[in-house]
Structure 1
Amino acid sequence: MNVFAERRKQLLERLQGVLVIPAAQVAIRNNDVEHEYRQDSDFYYLTGFSEPEAVLVLAPNHAEHKFVLFVRKRDPEREAYDGARAGIDGAKEDFGADAAYLVSELDDKLYEYLKGNARLYYRLGDNRAMDDRVLGGVRFTRQRGARNNHLWPTEIVDPATVLHETRIIKREDELDRMRRAAAITRDAHLGAMALARPGRYEYEIEARIREIFRRSGAERIAYEPIIGSGPNATVLHYRQNNRQMHEGELLLIDAGCEYDYYAADVTRTFPVSGTFSPAQWRLYEVVLEAQVTAIEAVKPGANLDAIHDEVVETLVRGLVREGLLEGEPEKIIEDRSYKRFYMHRTSHWLGMDVHDVGVYYQGGAPRSLEPGMVLTIEPGIYISPSDDKVPAEYRGLGIRIEDDILVTPEGYTNLTADIPKSVADVERACRG
């Protein structure tokens, strides 16, 4: 709990009012069956508390209660079905809350923490029922404040403005978890490369990946795995994972685990038969060159727009070289005709969320990279099976290569560098 206490301490020093964050809502899968519950990242980041139906209050101006939790009551009958609950005592003794109440008491108790604060940090629009409860507390505090001469919230600010700027810089304990997530993800990709063969189905590869994730201690997948063989590799968010693989095809796997609430995000593309065809090899080398060039550009002071532009230039020159695009590279980049083959951005932040929090622009300009940031580098080329303007040997090829990159004071560290991606290393891994 020391890690969470330190995070709260740092945030409390930055808050200019009271912060309220509800736990993630329970989502129904079908009838009375629930989806797997995963705590809201902001809530967990500050508390380590993984139960639903809870509310966090941070009140830097309160005389005694800086950290308050509203939680479910202990209920032996429900706990027999769903597991133990912390309750009020556990919230204080196990999670360090200065004060704890039943979540049913929120409406009555919120006034105590809102009064004296002109600013409320709360995200409107995510949970309408909670919005009503919090706004009801604001209304009550305003009514009492007008009569009792104390401040009430006249400004509601998204907590992201302070909290997400804390989360975007990873500390060593967070990086340890991300390194472990990367190591588990490495083992899963290696297992997939060794298993894939013509005649197997995409879901068999998915099963191997999920098995390795869980057997290695990852709580869950970081996102639904993409296991796209043949033409399915050209669909960016393909998730059916039910096609049979055939001789001579490529298999694109975009899969990462979540370990102790921290994500890995890795893509590898490899030949189902174990050896790249000449056309596959040439196109793969274009993507690999773009990815390596982009990774080498990561350093403090660089920005994701410039890195993306470098990727686009490398891909376009490679596509022109292979005859898939015609004309001057500069003109192709200017008119964006390359988007026929490369339609997405190169990078996103990575952390507790696979598309992690943090702004990409500051003051209207691309944000500069800083030590402690973690981002992905994931260029790709995707050629539609029906694109009759390219030679037949290229049709239906989808190739993406993605790694997780930590910005360091000296430059970068590739957290997923030991997952094979050179042609020789990939073919060797495919042979098991």
Structure 2
Amino acid sequence: MMIAQQEYAQRRELLMSKMGKGVAVFRSAPMAVMHNDVEYVYRQDSDFFYLTGFNEPEAVAILAPNHNEHRFILFVQPKDLAKEIWTGYRAGVEGAKENYGADAVFSIEELDEKLSEYLITGDRIYYHLGRDQEFNQKILNHWQKLVGSYPRNGYGPRALEDSNYILHPLRMVKSATEIEMLRKATSISAKAHIRAQEFATPGRYEYEVQAEMEHIFRSLGCEGPAYPSIVASGANACVLHYIENNRRMEEGDLLLIDAGASFGYYNGDITRTFPVSGNFTPEQKAIYDLVLEAQLKAIAQVQPGNTYNQYHDTAVEVLVEGLKELKLLQGDTEEIIKEKKYQPFYMHRTGHWLGLDVHDVGNYKLDKETWQTLQAGNVLTVEPGIYISPYITPAEGQPEIPDHWKGIGVRIEDDVLVTKTGNEILTSAVGK
């Protein structure tokens, strides 16, 4: 299952239709070093990959809709058999031209010489100033030079704008093919979670469960985990991004697993919490049931035309009312929410966009007061939780927490597609 080159071309055409007379520049991700000279497995920049499908470092893509001949230009590493023996085969200039639909392809070594030829065709440069400071400076230097020559030429780029603001709204609405990629990623993620629930028992270690899950990710064709797997038993579940995964599970523990697979760079993101011995304590059951109620009611708010904040606000209200019933919070619900007195128990938002990035791109708010409106093709997570840390400090004016509640952490997370008529839970194969 792959994205066809035709779809990449359609994405580029749609982006260029938003650019007016501008020209856009996109930089590939750098190689990341794990330690000394050992590199991580390469992972392409998501914007670059979204527009090109090209999966090599040291590459630049230019979209120049006003150029006389070349609208899509690639600069790539040239073939070099001596280096390829060590680091893997390259497409090279000829391979990139043949396989990626560019109007022109050049060696990356020619970038400085040719860059201005394309930049000067636009009235503005669209470029996101990223982490590659050297390349940022290259773009700034070219822009300053072209701005300086504008009074003599009467044309060229006068402005530098962030490409995120025209590209990321396009990435927020998934195509039919992207949705199928996400179905695959979430289906494999679900299989791994089901296996984890079968495998986890008192006496085993968290990392053993992690290994079972990640074996399934790889054996079913994924690149691997979408993010470091969280396998958190007992009080470890109260640490949101716990990844040590080295504790021995014990009778009476809850196990919170937040893990997902990456398939073709599209990601699953699922959390389930369950008792490793098969039975909840009364306190665990009370917290679990409350989180589940909050999640189900939040999912019901994921509808086209609703605003992004509605499902979070719904989850918070349910959690606050439930915590009051359990006498872990006290006071007026509106006041508790307004003053965020629930945050010692629930300190994160109820979800995020999902796609090529686990925390995918796109605005949540359009301005200071206006939240993004959900539309068909959006994909997001719904993941409320309650975390009663052994070290919890209640908000001012709130009751002290009895010890028998401490150490309970519960989160339940699903991946939800907004459809034309409602929503579809992509991760429903894993029971709750």
Could you tell me the TM-score, scaled by structure 1's length? 0.95
How far does residue 326 in structure 1 lie from its aligned partner after superposition? 2.3
Cα distance in structure 1, aligned partners of 2:309 and 2:122: 39
Preserved contact between residue 68 and residue 97 of structure 1 (Cα < 8 Å): yes
**Which consecutive segments of 4 or more residues in structure 1 shift more than 6 A?**
none
Q: Could you say which residue in structure 2 is the equivalent of 1:356?
A: 360
* Paired residue secondary structure (1:78): helix
- AA of the residue aligned to 2:216: I
Cα distance in structure 1, aligned partners of 2:51 and 2:316: 39
Q: Could you say which residue in structure 2 is the equivalent of 1:113?
A: 118
How far does residue 219 in structure 1 lie from its aligned partner after superposition? 1.0
How far does residue 336 in structure 1 lie from its aligned partner after superposition? 1.8
* Paired residue secondary structure (1:79): helix
How far does residue 150 in structure 1 lie from its aligned partner after superposition? 4.5
User: Measured at CA, do residues 3 and 317 of structure 1 come closer, stay the same or move farther in structure 2, by a change above 3 Å?
Assistant: same
Preserved contact between residue 222 and residue 264 of structure 2 (Cα < 8 Å): yes
How far does residue 368 in structure 1 lie from its aligned partner after superposition? 0.9
1:360-410 per-residue CA deviation (whole Å, 9 max, x = no partner) reads 111431111111101111000000124493233321000000001111111
Q: Could you say which residue in structure 1 is the equivalent of 2:396?
A: none
- Please report the RMSD computed on the Cα atoms of aligned residues, expressed in angstroms: 1.4
Alignment of 1:27 onto 2:32: yes
Higher mean alpha-carbon deviation, 121-130 vs 67-76, is at 121-130
Preserved contact between residue 39 and residue 52 of structure 1 (Cα < 8 Å): yes
In the alignment, which of 384, 404, 409 is matched to residue 393 of structure 1?
A: 404
Q: Could you say which residue in structure 2 is the equivalent of 1:319?
A: 323
Q: Could you say which residue in structure 1 is the equivalent of 2:177?
A: 173
Higher mean alpha-carbon deviation, 298-307 vs 393-402, is at 298-307
Preserved contact between residue 116 and residue 150 of structure 1 (Cα < 8 Å): no
Preserved contact between residue 122 and residue 156 of structure 1 (Cα < 8 Å): yes
How far does residue 125 in structure 1 lie from its aligned partner after superposition? 4.4
Alignment of 1:80 onto 2:91: no
Preserved contact between residue 53 and residue 72 of structure 1 (Cα < 8 Å): yes
Aligned residues: 420
- AA of the residue aligned to 1:154: R
- AA of the residue aligned to 1:187: K
What's the % identity of the aligned pairs?
Answer: 49
1:262-319 per-residue CA deviation (whole Å, 9 max, x = no partner) reads 1111110011112212221111000000000000111111122222111111001111
In the alignment, which of 278, 292, 297 is matched to residue 288 of structure 1?
A: 292
User: Measured at CA, do residues 93 and 300 of structure 1 come closer, stay the same or move farther in structure 2, by a change above 3 Å?
Assistant: same
How far does residue 247 in structure 1 lie from its aligned partner after superposition? 0.5
* Paired residue secondary structure (2:129): coil
* Paired residue secondary structure (1:270): strand
Cα distance in structure 2, aligned partners of 1:49 and 1:264: 22
Cα distance in structure 2, aligned partners of 1:101 and 1:386: 58
- AA of the residue aligned to 2:141: G
Could you tell me the TM-score, scaled by structure 2's length? 0.95
- AA of the residue aligned to 1:58: L
- AA of the residue aligned to 2:344: R
* Paired residue secondary structure (1:161): helix
- AA of the residue aligned to 1:257: A
- AA of the residue aligned to 1:410: T
1:20-56 per-residue CA deviation (whole Å, 9 max, x = no partner) reads 0110011111111112210000000000000000000
Q: Structure 2 stretches of 5 or more lacking a match?
A: 394-399
Q: Could you say which residue in structure 2 is the equivalent of 1:427?
A: none
How far does residue 143 in structure 1 lie from its aligned partner after superposition? 5.0
Cα distance in structure 2, aligned partners of 1:285 and 1:310: 16
Cα distance in structure 2, aligned partners of 1:387 and 1:360: 30
Q: Could you say which residue in structure 1 is the equivalent of 2:271?
A: 267
Q: Could you say which residue in structure 1 is the equivalent of 2:238?
A: 234
Cα distance in structure 1, aligned partners of 2:144 and 2:308: 43
* Paired residue secondary structure (2:246): coil
Preserved contact between residue 111 and residue 140 of structure 1 (Cα < 8 Å): no
